[in-house]
Structures are given as C-alpha cells and as structure tokens.
Structure 1
Amino acid sequence: MRVTLARPSELGAPELNRWRALQESEPGFDNPFLSPEFTVIVGGLRDMVRVAVLYDGPEIVGFFPFERHPLGIGKPVAAGLTDAQGLVHAKGVEIDPHRLIRQCGLSVYEFDHLVACQPLLDERHERHPSPIIDLRDGYESYTGFLREHSGKTYKTTLAKSRKLQREVGEVRHDYAITGAEPLHTLLAWKTDQYRRTGRTDRFAHQWIVELVERLLATRTESFAGVLDMVYADGRPVAGHFGLRTRTTLAGWFPAYDTRFAKYSPGLIHHLAMAERAAESGIETIDMGRGQKEYKEKLKNGEFQVAEGRVATAGPAAGIHWLMRVPARRTRALVLANPVLHRTADRTLKTLGRLRTARS
C-alpha cells in the first residue's frame, strides 16, 4: 500500500472520478459528506484540509480526506459540522489504520460520525444511532408507516398544516431552490435557535456561511446543495439546507420562524420535504446522530455511526487523550441518561435566554 498526500485542489479529473466510482460502489459510502465535491469545496476555505490517496500498485483503492491540526491531530473535513466521516475505499482492500495515520503525518485521528465499512473502526469505539427517513418504497409507504407508528404526530401535523392555511394563508413548498434571500433567512433563524438554546452559533464564523453559499451554488447529478422552504401567504415559515448524492439527502440545517411555532412548522416542513425528495429520486434522508424529538417522531429506520480515535504511540497522542477523551466520555454519559440530558438541555436554554436578554 502506497499513500500520497494532496490538497483537494490538486486532485485532477481522473482522481475525482475514481473517488465518485468508489463511493457509488458501496451503499455505506452513499452520503454527500463523503463526496469529493464536499472535500474540494471545504478545502478552498480551510488550508489544513488534505486528502490521502491510497494505491495498490498503480491502482487507486481509496481516499482519506482529513484536516491536519497542531501536534499532528487529525480531524474529519469540516470537523464539528459533518454527520458522515471516514475513508472511501475499494471492497476487499486491506488497510492498516495505524500505518495509514502515520503515513498521513498524524499522531491521532479523532471522529464522532464514522460510518460503517471502515478499517478505522474497531470494537472499542462507541456506536450511536443516526435516525433516517427511508423512502426506498416511496412516500406513500413512508406515511403509512407514520400512521401506524406515529399516528398522533402525523394526524396532528396535517391538521396544523390546514390550520396554518386557514389562519395565515395559502401554504406552498418550494424544493431545491437557489436564491440567496431564502438561504440567509434560514441562516438567521438558525442563529436565533443557537442563541435561544445556549449553543454556539456556527454562522458567527464567516467561512461556514461562505461554505453553505458555495455548496448551494454546486449542482451536479451526483452532488448538490439542496435548499427548500415552506411559505404561508408568501411568508417563509420553515426551511432546510442540506446536501444530496443521487439517492441520499443529508439533513443539516433545519429551522423555522418562531412566530409560527404553534403550527409545528418544522414537522410540516419535514413531511413536505420528504414527499418532494422522494419524487426527485431520493431514497434516504439521513437526519444525523442526535436525540431530538422530531427525529424520533419521523424516523422509520437508523444507521450506526461511531465515535472515538485512532492513535499512534507518542506524547502528542497522550496529550490529546487527556484533553479530549474524558470530556467525550462524560458527554456520552449525559446524552445516554435521559435525566442528565434533560437537565443539561434546560441549563443551556436558561443560559441562552440570559444571553438573549443581554443582547
């Protein structure tokens, strides 16, 4: 196995085409965060992005995109934002993860959404569910599942959609739109949500705003940014920005106007999005790891993603362990315990209200 390192911009058409071919040959890699376009676009904004190209003789057998941080700490591309991480590689190829990390000049590679089919994965790594909306049998089959398993939620959402139309005005849904104005409306809602819930505002970082804008402007058969919005009487009510491959839509940034909260606009939007996505050939909407009430109500399946690290022996790996691993385990404990999770969530929301009141 031979490994060469390159900046994403240095990959030519043969390498990018090979990457796409490997990705499409394995269902476990069918996620836009693993697509070459995503790495290339992030690489245009983040100088630490690199791609390890894996060769078996003259043949390319894999691609490993990563970010190289100080002390040789490796992270996924756009770390902290992505819901699918890992290598894209040929079936049957043998890859020694520790040797790969060394060949990349890394002391550690840490991850929190590592997909299946990964040589980086072992039994020590923590597994977490990633809820999905499975549309392979069509939207009608999906809504049939909801009527049977989440009947109250489904009926209530339809009733609230009708109520929204009666009380506010005609409800319409625009799917796969490209306008800058609805995108920035959505990002403003998301910023407000982060502040209200005590979370860090991702869009306070200009590079993330520019990343979303560049992704929205990207549109090919195998990869695109997808923006959609629900309107009532011509006013935007709820929306979402995500990414797609040919058959998978990755849920990423959903948000809504809190003035319409009593109508459950997020649920109205997700049902509308699922219907239009199915019509466009999407077979799976990956809502991403995380225990959110709306995901539990809407899911009809789930994937598994892993959290952990691959490390080589050395002082940098030891420092990284002390800085990251105990905190990660504490966080996992809180998330796994409903009482602790609710307490932490209430605390964050209280901090968010205080922060909003001061601004």
Structure 2
Amino acid sequence: MDITIHRPDELGEELRRAWHRAMDESPEYANPFLAPEFAAGVSAHRGGAHVAVLHEYRQPVGFLPYERGLFGIGRAVGLGLSDCQALVHRPGVTWDTHELLRACGLVSFEFDHLVEEQKPFGRYVTGLFASPVVDLKPGDSGYPEWLRGAYPGLAKTTLKKERRLGRDAGEVRFVFDERDPRMLRQLMRWKSAQYRRTGRMDRFSRPWIVGLVDHLFQVREEHFTGVLSVLYAGDRPVAAHFGPRSRTVLAAWFTAYDPEFHRYSPGLMMHLRMAEEAGRLGVGVMDLGRGDKEYKDWLKTRELRVGEGFATRPHPVAAAHRVWRRPVRGLRNTVLAHPRLREPADRFLRTVGSLRTSRRSSAGGAGPGAA
C-alpha cells in the first residue's frame, strides 16, 4: 500500500473521478460530506486540510480527508460541522492505521461521526451513537404515505397548520433549490438568533463557517450540490434549510425559521416538503445527522450508527491530547444521553442565551450578513 498526501484543491481530475467512483460503489460513502468538494470547501476557508490517497498497484483506491494541526494532532475534515466521516475506499480495501497516521504526519486523528463500517478504526472507537435517516422510498407508496401510516396524528396536524398558515399569511409555497443568496443570508440571521436564544455557540459568528457555506452554495456538481430550500407564505420567507446533496443522499444541516411563525411548526413543515421533493428528484436518503431531537424521531425510518473516538499511534502528544479531550466528550455525551441531566442543562443554556440576547439588543448588535 502506497500513500500520498495532497491538498484538496490540488487533486487532479483523475483522482477526483476515482474518489467519486469509490462513493458510488458503496452506499456507506454516498454522503455528500464525504465528497472531495466538501473537503475542498473546508480547505479554502480553514487552513490545514489534506487528503491521504491510498494506492494499490499504482491505482488510487482510498481517500482520507483530514485536518492537521500543531504537533501532529489531526481531526476529520470539518469536525464539528460534518455529519459523516470516513476513509472513502473501494470495496475490499483495508489499511494499517499506524502506517496511515505516519504517512499523514499525525499522532492522533479525532472523529465524531465515523461510518460504522470503518473496521481498521474500530479499536479506537470510544462510543457508537444513533444517526437517524429517512428512506425517501421506504415502501411501494413512498415516504409521505409511509409517514401518514406511521404517524397519522402528526401528518394530520401538520397539514392543518399548513392550511392555517396559508389563510393567515398567504399561499404556502416551497422552493427546493432556491438560488437567491439573500435567502441564504436570511437563514444565517435566523440561525444565529436561534443559537443565541438557546445559549449555543453561534456558528455563523465565525467568518470561516460563513465563507464555507457561501462557497458550498455555489457548488453545482453531480456528487455535491449546495441546496438552499425555502418555505414561503405569500412572498414572505417563513423557514429555510441549507445542506449538501450528493447523487443519492441529502444531508439535513442548517434549518431555521422566523420565530413569529413558530406556532405553525415551520421547521417540521420544511423537512416534510424537503423529503417529498428530494424523493421526486431521485434522492434515496435524507440524513438527519446524529443527535436526539423529537422531530428526528418522528421523521426517521431507521438509524445508522456513527462512532466517535481517537485513532492514535504511540506518542506522548497523542496520549496527552486523548487525556484532555476524552473527559470533555464524555461529560457532553452523559448529559445528552440522560433526560434528567439534559433538560436542566438546556434550561440553563436558554437562560444564558436570553441574557446574551437582551444585552446584544440593547447594544444594537447585528447578525451575519447585516449591513
């Protein structure tokens, strides 16, 4: 096995075709977060991104996108944003993890959404977590009919709210692939406000993330397209979603809505419209991403398993990094796994968020994309 290291933006057409072919050959690797276009986007807006290319008999057969930091500390490309991570490879390919890390110049490689199939990384997985997905054609009749059968009350209530929204605010219409960049900015403003209200870190306060989303919005390729979907009532945007799509998988990523319309459940309405339209366009799966949310339990048809952990080779820096990072991840996972802990923590974060929002409003702060 030969391993070469490249910058994502330096991959030639031959290597990109080989990467796409590996995605096509295994459904586990069809996720758009595993496409070279996503790695190139991260590379363009945050330094340190690389790709290890595995060769057998001089043919490229595997691709590991990663970010390399100080002292050889590495992480999956887009860690914290990417909802799917893997060494994308052709069927039957395997590798020695220590050899791979040495070739990458890494002593440690951190991941949190690793595809379960990645057996050579298996010994380094510290936890497996459910990642719900929606099969857009789960039966002969399709997903909307499946959902109506599985959750008749939910479907009936959502349709009733949609009719009420139409009466109150104007005819409801849905655009699956909206190309107006102003709507992308509106989504970012809504999402920033949501992060602040709930006490979460505002991802859109980080310029590199804003730049990455802007970049991906412009990508229109077969294996990766940035899709902005918008739900309108009359001419007014009510909810929006931005996420990447491959040939067969749509990843649910950033969803937000106008809080004025919260009583209509616009976020749920948005996901139902997205699932229906994506299925019509030939997408087979909508990946909702790891995390416990009530709407995911309603929408999912099944669950994948994704792993988190640290692949390491013997080195004092790797040991120190693991000792520092594992308790942080362990505490977070413990809180998320137990409702008695999660609910008080969520209330605390919302209280902090409301205080931050109040201070920001009195100071005249603005969100991303504001003048």
3-state SS of 2:252 partner: strand
Q: What is the deviation of 1:137? A: 4.2
**What number of residue pairs does the alignment pair up?**
359
Q: Deviations over 1:193-218 (max 9, x none)?
A: 10011000111111111111111111
Looking at structure 2, the residues matched to 320 and 43 of structure 1 have their Cα atoms a distance apart, in angstroms, of 23
Matched with 1:210 is 211
TM-score, structure 2 normalization: 0.94
Amino acid at match of 2:101: I
Looking at structure 2, the residues matched to 138 and 212 of structure 1 have their Cα atoms a distance apart, in angstroms, of 34
Q: What is the deviation of 1:115? A: 0.9
Q: What is the deviation of 1:268? A: 1.1
Q: Deviations over 1:275-294 (max 9, x none)?
A: 11111111100010001111
Q: Are the equivalent residues in 1 in contact too, given 2:8–2:39 (CA < 8 A)?
A: yes
Looking at structure 1, the residues matched to 153 and 23 of structure 2 have their Cα atoms a distance apart, in angstroms, of 39
Q: Are the equivalent residues in 2 in contact too, given 1:229–1:237 (CA < 8 A)?
A: yes
Matched with 2:30 is 30
3-state SS of 1:344 partner: helix
Q: Are the equivalent residues in 1 in contact too, given 2:8–2:51 (CA < 8 A)?
A: yes
1:40 matches 2:40: yes
Q: What is the deviation of 1:233? A: 1.6
**Greater mean deviation of Cα atoms: 318-327 or 14-23:** 318-327
Q: Are the equivalent residues in 2 in contact too, given 1:139–1:274 (CA < 8 A)?
A: no
3-state SS of 2:238 partner: strand
**Greater mean deviation of Cα atoms: 125-134 or 189-198:** 125-134
Residues 1-359 of structure 1 correspond to what in structure 2 (within 5 A)? 1-122=1-122, 124-137=125-138, 140-359=141-360
Q: What is the deviation of 1:330? A: 1.5
Looking at structure 2, the residues matched to 353 and 73 of structure 1 have their Cα atoms a distance apart, in angstroms, of 36
Looking at structure 2, the residues matched to 37 and 240 of structure 1 have their Cα atoms a distance apart, in angstroms, of 20
Q: Are the equivalent residues in 2 in contact too, given 1:75–1:111 (CA < 8 A)?
A: yes
3-state SS of 1:177 partner: coil
Q: Are the equivalent residues in 1 in contact too, given 2:41–2:215 (CA < 8 A)?
A: yes
Q: What is the deviation of 1:302? A: 1.5
Looking at structure 2, the residues matched to 140 and 266 of structure 1 have their Cα atoms a distance apart, in angstroms, of 24
TM-score, structure 1 normalization: 0.97
Looking at structure 2, the residues matched to 212 and 261 of structure 1 have their Cα atoms a distance apart, in angstroms, of 25
Q: What is the deviation of 1:120? A: 4.1
Matched with 2:364 is none
**Greater mean deviation of Cα atoms: 330-339 or 239-248:** 330-339
3-state SS of 1:231 partner: strand
3-state SS of 2:177 partner: strand
Q: Are the equivalent residues in 2 in contact too, given 1:229–1:236 (CA < 8 A)?
A: yes
Q: What is the deviation of 1:57? A: 2.5
Q: Deviations over 1:166-224 (max 9, x none)?
A: 11111100111111111100110000110011000111111111111111111122210
Amino acid at match of 1:95: W
Looking at structure 1, the residues matched to 17 and 232 of structure 2 have their Cα atoms a distance apart, in angstroms, of 39
Q: Are the equivalent residues in 2 in contact too, given 1:172–1:230 (CA < 8 A)?
A: yes
3-state SS of 1:295 partner: helix
Q: What is the deviation of 1:300? A: 1.3
Q: Are the equivalent residues in 1 in contact too, given 2:19–2:88 (CA < 8 A)?
A: yes
Q: Deviations over 1:31-81 (max 9, x none)?
A: 000001111122122220001111113111111110001121111112210
